[in-house]
Structure 1
Amino acid sequence: MLIDDHLLDEVTERAKGSERLRMNFNLHDSLEAKAQRLLNALEPGTLLPVHRHRHTAETYIVLRGSIRVLFYDDDRTLTDAFTVHPEEKVYGVHIPAGQWHTLEVLESGTVIFEVKDGPYMPLGPEDIILL
């Protein structure tokens, strides 16, 4: 399978039609896979709560568009922010295991390649901060 404009356009159209304004396209074979690899098409206005993955690091590579990644501490204080935009020669961000984070989508048509260790583990209430 090629990861090309046709695929990115297809996943983006699904995101635009989604109530959540985002859509995953999984590249891993199952939720039990040891590596969770996916395209994530994101539109401005999608809401991702501040959250953490206690047992895995996570990496975002922006294929097109741009995002702002925000890091928080246990006290809900913003500690760092990174704008990831390939046209500005900033391609991705690596998020350590346990790091509280979220992202804001800055451009319509944004698609990221996302990787984290598997198997898939849904976030529990102890892994989400409501600001």
Structure 2
Amino acid sequence: MKAITTEALDALSQAAACRTRLRANWDIHAGATDPVQRFCNAIEPGSYIRPHRHGEAGKWELSIALKGRVVLVLFTPEGVLTDRIVLSAGGPTFGIETEPGTWHSFAGLEPGSVLFELKPGPYDPAADKDFAAWAPAEGDPRCSLFEVWFRTGAIGSAPPARQP
């Protein structure tokens, strides 16, 4: 049995804060072949999660805030920001289910934020997600511009301009 405790979430957040990516996952499921993938995802402020979609039919994603505050951002296929939904352990919105094929990302709004995520398995890294061509890959110098845009960009705004 795996208990999701305050201590476990604090340790996960501490691990995320020490990593370059500023996030850390804790898999609750037994492995990649499990038919239901469930995990805790600690996302610290400043962590860049490249916009993506889960394109396979039936591959929805449920995200619930266990600690802190995280923003879910939604985009058109061209990268226009269409919505920003704050998920907060204190409410009023605790969680949301993202439909298959929805372009999205997350950004941490306060230290110690942790989401519980649930989605159909099995997990196949080659087919799990499609990354947005209009957004930089992790490690690109523009990632910090995008992470700020996720948190502060106007609804209807286009991605930050590409720099040469």
**TM-score, scaled relative to structure 2:** 0.75
Which residue, 111, 115, 119 being the options, matches 2:114? Answer: 111
Q: 1:48 to 1:41 in 2, by over 3 A?
A: same
Q: 1:123 to 1:45 in 2, by over 3 A?
A: farther
Equivalents in 2 of 1:70, 1:89: separation in Å?
17
Equivalents in 2 of 1:20, 1:88: separation in Å?
26
Deviates more, 1:20-29 or 1:10-19: 10-19
**TM-score, scaled relative to structure 1:** 0.93
Residue matched to 1:49: 50
Higher strand share: 1
Residue matched to 1:38: 39
User: Could you say which structure has the greater relative contact order, defined with CA pairs below 8 angstroms and 6 or more residues apart?
Assistant: 1
Shift of 1:121: 2.5
Q: Which runs of 4+ in 1 moved over 6 A?
A: none
Shift of 1:123: 5.7
Counterparts of 1:92-107 in structure 2, within 5 Å, are: 92-107=95-110
Count residues with an aligned counterpart.
130
Equivalents in 1 of 2:89, 2:27: separation in Å?
22
Equivalents in 1 of 2:15, 2:116: separation in Å?
16
Once superposed, what is the RMSD of the aligned Cα atoms?
1.5
Contact 2:67/2:112 (<8 A) preserved: yes
Q: Does 1:85 align with 2:88?
A: yes
**What is the percent sequence identity of the aligned residues?**
32
Which amino acid counterpart does residue 125 of structure 2 have in structure 1?
A: P
Equivalents in 1 of 2:51, 2:34: separation in Å?
25
Equivalents in 2 of 1:78, 1:2: separation in Å?
36
**Residues 2-53 of structure 1: per-residue CA shift (max 9 Å, x gap):** 2111111111111111111111000010111111100111111111011000
Shift of 1:74: 1.3
Which amino acid counterpart does residue 101 of structure 2 have in structure 1?
A: G
Q: Could you list the runs of 5+ residues in structure 2 that have no partner in the other structure?
A: 136-158, 160-164
DSSP-derived class of the 2:90 partner = helix
Contact 2:26/2:39 (<8 A) preserved: yes
